[in-house]
Structure 1
Amino acid sequence: MKQLYLKFSKLENIIANVLLIAIFALVFLSAFMRTIGSPVNWAQDMALVAFAWMVFLGSDLAIRNSRLIGIEVITKHLPKNIQKYLDIIFKVIIIMFLIVLVRYGYTMVITGARRSISTLGISYAYVTASVPVGSLLMLVSIGTKLVEAIKTPIAQWGEDN
């Protein structure tokens, strides 16, 4: 199971990088073509679709690689046992928030299915699906981090956390 998770993580990283490159290329193409008087209207919309997905995939990568913004300036001066418990509490709060995003993201997908992106000819649900899908991926990553935090003895706290 761990091998499958690692392979999925690599795939997710590749997809996020491809999306970032695609956003750059599409925005550059759109600006260049507009400058020469032949705008490519679909490029902006495609860049927005790619951006929505990149935000959520990139957020999952940030969680997985422990790159979330923290308040270490304050917490690193606290005793290790308090650091550990605060970390667990923060992870539980993040999990609760992600559950809300999955729930309401699903509603966004259902309501967005009726709308379409006219320049691309696709349903707006392809954009809004990034919210529940990305949030589910983040739930898996933060859940894994939560289990690691709970299992880590207080004596070892702060070494890799």
Structure 2
Amino acid sequence: MQILRSFYNLVRKLDNFLGMTAMAFIILLACANVFMRYVVGRPWGWVEEVTVFTFVWLTMLGASAVVHVEGHCSIDVLVRRFPSKWQRAVSIFGDLVVLVTLVLLIWFGILLTIKGQTKLTPILGIPYSYVDASVPVSCFFMLMYYGRMFWNSLRGEKNTTNLDDESVEPAQ
């Protein structure tokens, strides 16, 4: 169990680090290009391409971070009117649908990444597979987070998420 916790914490830290790095990279690159355009008078043509690709990664990593902190929205007006047994059953069913969807997104994201190796970007000639890889990678992170929430839900435990603690679950 400790190995799983350690792996989970590693994935969580990697997810956060990659997201923060992508955001900082976009900001620095945009500022550098503004400098090149208005001060030097020679803007870099490739910046838009790299910024868009980094933004795709940032969006996907941001989605996984939202899943980690349980920030996704849900409309449960109808479900709340059900008896508690039914509420739990609907919740479990919904969680299973999300888990299956994430597995499918990982599978088809891998296929998309493989097919993207032959398609190149117009300016830099980078394979699109580097961008397409954001789908399976971030969905894997989401699967880890959602799988943990689902497991805790099945066990009847409340999910508690703290963004900056070292271990998400208390060590035993």
TM range (shorter): 0.7 to 0.9
Q: Deviations over 1:97-125 (max 9, x none)?
A: 22221222122112210012243342111
C-alpha displacement of 1:72: 4.1
| 1:77, distance to aligned residue in structure 2 (A) | 4.8
Normalised by the length of structure 2, the TM-score is 0.76
State the AA in 1 paired with 2:12. Answer: S
Would the aligned equivalents of 1:109 and 1:129 in 2 still touch at CA under 8 Å? yes
Q: Which runs of 5+ in 2 are unaligned?
A: 162-172
Does structure 2 conserve the Cα–Cα contact (< 8 Å) formed by 1:26 and 1:44? no
Q: Is 2:150 aligned against 1:122? A: no
Q: Does 1:10 align with 2:13?
A: yes
**Residue 8 of structure 2 contacts residue 144 of structure 2 at CA under 8 Å; is this kept in 1?**
no
Give the distance between the partners of 1:122 and 1:28, measured in 2 at CA. 23
Show the counterpart of 1:46. 50
Contact 2:46 2:123 in 1 (8 A): yes
- Whose helix fraction is larger, Structure 1's or Structure 2's? 1
1:123/1:77 Cα in 2 relative to 1: closer, same or farther (>3 Å)? same
Structure 1: segments with no counterpart, 5+ residues: none
Alignment of 1:52-91 (within 5 A): 52-91=56-95
* 1:146 corresponds to which of 135, 150, 167: 150
Of 40-49 and 78-87, the range deviating more from structure 2:
78-87
TM (normalized to structure 1)?
Answer: 0.81
Percentage of matched positions with identical amino acids: 25
Residue 80 of structure 1 and its aligned partner are, at CA, apart by: 3.3
* 3-state secondary structure, aligned to 1:122: coil
RMSD value over aligned CA atoms?
2.6
Gap change, CA 1:38 and 1:101, over 3 Å in 2? same
> C-alpha displacement at 1:128, in angstroms?
0.6
SS class of match (2:73)? coil
In 1, Cα distance between the equivalents of 2:20 and 2:80? 32
